[in-house]
């Protein structure tokens, strides 16, 4: 099955554009944990932004200073990005509802009780 994935990562960590690009790259690791591999026709798009920098509407000075995290402090943020991405995919699958689309096409929601039965059968639940 082909399709595209769009992921937006928002953080209040003080990161610059280069660090945000590094965070966005970790999204693919979280997707891979769910079985996503990025097929040929997949047009995946990952972006990240930070709300940490406060830019005044009418600044008193011509140059502004921003504080950013050190690269050494990035690993926990990378892990959080991977885990949040994985959890978002799983939540979207388990909370989806059956829908009827164009021309009467039906996409059934996952039967959670059946999923639990299969996971138990293969000892996949801790």
**Exactly one of 4, 39, 92, 111 is catalytic; which is it?**
4
Q: How many CB atoms lie within 10 A of CB 21?
A: 13
User: Tokens 């299969």 — which residue?
Assistant: 118
Q: Respond yes or no: is residue 60 known to be catalytic.
A: no
CA distance 37 to 108: 23
Report angle CA 124, 42, 48 to the nearest 5 degrees.
80
Collapse the DSSP code of 107 into the 3-class scheme (helix H, G, I; strand E, B; otherwise coil) and give the result.
strand
**Exactly one of 39, 44, 50, 75 is catalytic; which is it?**
44
Q: Respond yes or no: is residue 44 known to be catalytic.
A: yes
Q: Respond yes or no: is residue 74 known to be catalytic.
A: no
What ranges make up the beta strands (E) of 1-126? 6-11, 45-50, 99-100, 106-107
Enumerate the active-site residues: 4, 42, 44
């Amino acid at each position: 099955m082909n399709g595209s994935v769009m992921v937006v990562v928002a953080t209040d960590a003080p990161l610059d554009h280069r660090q945000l690009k590094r965070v966005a790259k970790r999204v693919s690791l979280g997707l891979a944990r769910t079985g996503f591999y990025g097929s040929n026709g997949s047009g995946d798009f990952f972006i990240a932004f930070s709300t940490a920098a406060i830019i005044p509407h009418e600044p008193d000075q011509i140059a502004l200073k921003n504080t950013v995290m050190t690269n050494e402090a990035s690993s926990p943020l990378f892990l959080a990005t991977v885990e949040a991405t994985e959890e978002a995919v799983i939540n979207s699958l388990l909370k989806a509802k059956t829908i009827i689309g164009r021309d009467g096409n039906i996409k059934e929601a996952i039967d959670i009780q059946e999923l639990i039965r299969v996971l138990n059968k293969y000892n996949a639940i801790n």
